[in-house]
Structure 1
Amino acid sequence: MKSDFHRLLAEYPLETLLQTIPTGLFLVDTDFQVVYWNTEAERITGYSSAEAVGRHCSFLEGIPCKDKCGLYAEDTEKPVIGINCSVQHKDGRTIQLTKNVDLLRNKTGTVIGGIEAFVDISRLKQLENSLRSEVEDRTRELELEKAALHSVLDGMVDPVYICDAEFRITFINRALRDIYGDITGQVCHRALHNSSLVCEDCPITDVLSGGVEFRERELENTGKIYEIVHSPFPMAQNPTHKLGVFRDITERKAAERRLQQANGELDAFVSTVSHDLRSPLTPLIGFAELLEERSVDQLDEIGREALSEIKKTATRMKALLEDLLTLARVGQLKNPVQKVDVTRVAEDVMLELADKVIERQAKVDISPLPNVRIPESLLTDLFRNLLANALKYAAVEDPRIEISGESFPGRVRYRVVDHGPGIARDEMAEVFEPFRRGSSSRAHQGSGIGLATVAKIARVYEGSAWVEETPGGGATFVVELARND
């Protein structure tokens, strides 16, 4: 039994179906005379059904149809699907088509005509040609940019290479070619470092994500040390290659080693001299105190003043040597495994200097401080020098001192703020130099080593120390250190 749908389909006129489909359609007899022309064919070609029916289909000036029509050719298998061709619109325009062609047969199988169904792809072809032109233009521009970049890279003194995500070298400049020969096409770890395995610290993943990475390597072919700057290439949102630029830092590394050796020798010398000189000072101070206790009545005023001066000078000398020893040992201590409670260290220093805090009637406020993996003894030296400095110069009228800290990505920063007379701008850079003291310090005793020790601790731990003006008056000492997590 047929369904309602099938009955409706059988009753629905074929003519109505053909006139409503969104495809141009026409039929021809065996003499190529048009016998049917639907509405979409009218829209595409501009010819009405009345103008087309009864005419030879060649009036459309079809290409390649007018040269050779294969509709009835026995050597052409039917149906023919997806033919690209063009016809002449009524207004003279050329229309690009894609069409399907098949034969019409009667019940006995005899060919009685042909059918063509076609779609206008003129707009699509225009867009395709425009896009192709843009792609060709952009490709040409990129090739010119690439050639210009390669010319620039080729003229560089620093060796340069470019490799893809598979570590395959796609370009080397003249400087690198002079060292290795033509290694284009080889994998970088084998060609540059003679290794069958990818380098353990290979930065290509980070670089292809848009990052810039730095590595230090020694090239066996040269015996020199290079800093290799790895950056994305091209510099776009989705880089596909890595650009490596070699900077020769052999001399710089040698200078660093010489400087480290010289600093080590200097620190050792200072440590030895300070220790050797400090040893006789202890009995010297002891004998001065003994004379002061037992024989002061036997001395006249000049003698008593001389004895007092001997004692003071020896005491200052001992303090100076102890400060020099502290300065010399910075950088010689190993970092602790666990982070140090820096807030507790600052509080312990405040208790250590309690007599001076009471003497100045100071109010010391310590906020929670970020922790770091730095030897506790060095942190103690750092805060001892900063707090002692603040207590020494804090204003009598407003002896407030604030110690605070904050964390940044990879960094920590500590601040010690006082509200004293401050430091002249032209002296701010000098107060961290050994034996250099500001003009406001002349009324106070000191070795001139304390802030130099603070600055050295900061340098050793990849940071820096500086001083700023406190709003409203005073000095704010800032120390920034690497987190060293």
Structure 2
Amino acid sequence: MNWLQVRPFGPYLSSFSTNSYGYYSQMSQNLISNGQIFASVQIARQTAFVFKGYFLRGDPMNSNLHRLLAEYPLETLLQTIPTGLFLVDVDKIIVYWNAEATRITGFTAAEAVGQHCSFLHGDPCNMECGLFSETTPKPEIGLTCSFRHKDGRTIALTKNVDLLRDEAGNIIGGVEAFVDITRLKELEVSLRSAVEERTHELELEKAGLRAVLDGMVDPAYICDSSYHISFANRAMLNIIGDIGEKTCYQAIYQREQVCDDCPLVQVLRGQIVHQEKTLPETGRTYEIIHSPYPLEKSPTHKLGVSRDITERIETRRQLQQTNRELDAFVSTVSHDLRSPLTPLIGFAELLEDRYGEQLDDIGRESIAEIKKTAEKMKDLLEDLLTLSRVGQLKIPEQYLDATDIAENVLLELADKVLERRATVTIDRLPEVRIPESLLMDLFRNLLGNALKYAAEDDPRIEVSGQGFSDRVRFIVVDHGPGIAVAEREEVFEPFKRGSSSKGSAGTGIGLATVAKIARVFGGNAWVEETPGGGATFIVDLPVSRKK
């Protein structure tokens, strides 16, 4: 057998010295069967190692590799590589065909060897085979083509090709190694189709969203991460005019740099940001909701939708002014009316002390009625003053110990507690930030209400609280006659009293004050039925909520 000197396959392998192949000279004789011939044991060896992934990069083979090559049968080596491999002579007749080539194409070695390689119906190599082209540099790595399988279907391949040369450098054949990528191609087509379909859906969604935005009367715009406006609806364009290549801060706010309170960073992190801003172009104030776009997760743009709230702000300002004036009026009237009550009560008591024995029953009853009516008027005016004061006090910087305040109020009401023989328990209450005087008014009215209307039936009164992440709750429970369902909202209105309070003194202002305190500080107050009978008053207040 003649030895042929062949250039190494691919750019990865170095040349091998021929004295390494003594053992394979004999082995090659065993591989000449069924018309198979090897142009060179060297090219077979090199090809096998390329596709098993052993890339020798210019260093001489070490002793371990010598031993491996000496002990591992060449035929087994070629037949077990995970790559289809065949060799052709200069006439493109196939002279060797390995097992992986059979698995990929369906053709056995007996069917392939001896045939012209065109029987594989390669595309595009059937039309323009570059194996022996002098203008095509060798080796060629990573070519894409297709073969026709034995069953008629087309197989997509990626392959490497190179030439076989003898010791004199003459071309005596070629080698081709290939991998089946049909499934990868199918997945690629499927993926591309899915991407195109989803892209089309997104474009439709985008078009639909923009159509909706264009039909809105509220100004809206979309900007990217560099602040450039990519879309503005008609309502926005009617305000700011042509956008061109302007950024949002240039087009909308007439600024040369990013707004100090710009929420773009937060929005691109997936947050929704609410703002109130005045547009220089119109001088009007808008509530703006900045949302992530197009997706909440990993957004690329910001969607800003604005609503003109100028009239709402003006109405709110007027309402606040009216409330302040009304509170001031009530405070003034209450103070002015309260002033003459003190001497009126004093003179009634003087008449009773000095001349009570000289008066008949009608006279004494008249003086008692004067005192009773004056005291009732005084209580009413005190309650009106308390009600008018709510909302005028600032929120303290420090949290208040609600437990201490409730206990202090209970000490103020000690006479009533003893009179009613009530049992009042106060659990640990959560801290809260509202003016101390208002918190005392709140507990004073709730406890006074329970002592006045409920303790006669059942002397137990429980005060408790609950703390949540965003709010606190105070609860006052009594076991009296309770409040009818139809009256549970009315009792929090000024001068409205429940039917169960008939025959009891009261102004109808206490629970209205509780409700106003809760409302002014962003909370709520309501009453529920106590299990087993009675009324449970609940006041819910946000944590650190400012007016």
Per the shorter chain, which TM-score range? Answer: over 0.9
Aligned to 2:370: 310
- More deviation, 193-202/338-347: 193-202
Which deviations, in whole Å up to 9, do the C-alpha atoms of 1:118-161 show, x marking residues without a partner?
A: 11111111111111111111111111111111111111111111
Partner of 2:304: 244
What is the match of residue 476 of structure 2?
416
**What is aligned with 1:61?**
121
Total equivalences in the alignment? 485
Deviates more, 1:82-91 or 1:192-201: 192-201
CA distance in 2, matches of 1:2, 1:217: 77
Quote the Cα distance in structure 2 between the aligned partners of 1:29 and 1:212: 71
Shift of 1:44: 1.2
Give 1:208 deviation, angstroms. 3.7
**Residues of 2 paired with 1:442 and 1:84: CA distance?**
97
Segment drifting more, 297-306 vs 445-454: 297-306
Residue pairs, 1:203-218, within 5 angstroms: 203-218=263-278
In the TM superposition, residue 169 of structure 1 has moved relative to its aligned partner by: 2.3
Q: Does 1:22 align with 2:86?
A: no
Q: Please tell me the residue identity of whatever aligns with 2:424.
A: V
Which structure 1 segments of 5+ residues have no match?
none
Gaps of 5+ in 2: 1-60
Query: Which residue of 234, 252, 276 maps to 2:294?
Result: 234
| Partner Cα separation in structure 1 for residue 498 and residue 159 of structure 2 | 94
Mean CA deviation greater in 209-218 or 379-388? 209-218
In 2: Cα distance, 1:373 partner to 1:185 partner: 49
Post-superposition Cα deviations, 1:259-305, rounded to whole Å, max 9, x if no partner, equal 10100000000111111111111111112112221222232222222
Distance 1:291 1:340, change over 3 A: same
Q: String of CA shifts for 1:15-69, please: whole Å, max 9, x gaps.
A: 3221111111111111111111111111111111122112211111111111111
Cα distance change of structure 1 residues 306 and 396 upon mapping to structure 2, 3 Å threshold: closer
Give the residue type in structure 2 aligned to 1:345. I
1:349 and 2:409 are equivalent in the alignment: yes
What amino acid is the match of 1:256?
R
Secondary structure, aligned partner of 2:222: strand
Specify the SS of the correspondent of 1:431. Answer: helix
Taking the aligned partners of 2:196 and 2:537, their CA distance within structure 1 comes to: 62
When structure 1 is superposed on structure 2, of 46-55 and 455-464 the one drifting more is 46-55
Q: What is aligned with 1:46?
A: 106
Counterparts of 1:427 and 1:8, CA distance in 2: 98
- Pick the aligned partner of 1:71 from 121, 124, 131: 131
Q: Work out the CA distance in 1 between the residues paired with 2:218 and 2:212.
A: 11
Task: Tell me whether 1:362 sits opposite 2:362 in the alignment.
Answer: no
Distance 1:307 1:12 in 2: 129
Q: Is the 8 A contact 1:170 1:184 kept in 2?
A: no
Query: What letter matches 1:426 in structure 2?
Result: A
Correspondence for 2:329: 269
Give the share of equivalent positions with the same residue, in percent.
68
Which residue number in structure 2 is paired with residue 371 of structure 1?
Answer: 431
Q: TM-score, normalised by structure 2?
A: 0.85
Structure 1 length-normalised TM? 0.96
* Deviation of 1:95 (Å): 1.0
Of structures 1 and 2, the larger Rg is shown by 2
Does 1:451 find its partner at 2:511? yes
Query: 2:148 is matched with which residue: 71, 88, 99?
Result: 88
Relative to structure 1, is the Cα distance of residues 88 and 104 closer, same or farther in structure 2, using a 3 angstrom cutoff? same
Q: CA deviation at 1:345?
A: 0.4
* Paired amino acid for 2:123: I
Q: Distance in 2 between matches of 1:210 and 1:417?
A: 44
Structure 1 CA distance, aligned partners of 2:62 and 2:390? 100
- SS class of match (1:390): helix
> Are 2:462 and 1:402 equivalent residues in the alignment?
yes
Letter in 2 for 1:31: D
CA distance in 2, matches of 1:76, 1:175: 63
Q: 1:78 deviation in Å?
A: 0.5
Partners of 1:386 and 1:477 within 8 A in 2: yes
Q: RMSD of aligned C-alpha atoms?
A: 1.7
Give, as a single letter, the amino acid of the residue that structure 2 aligns with 1:278: R
Q: Is the 8 A contact 1:150 1:173 kept in 2?
A: yes
* Cα distance in structure 1, aligned partners of 2:351 and 2:204: 92
Correspondence for 1:331: 391
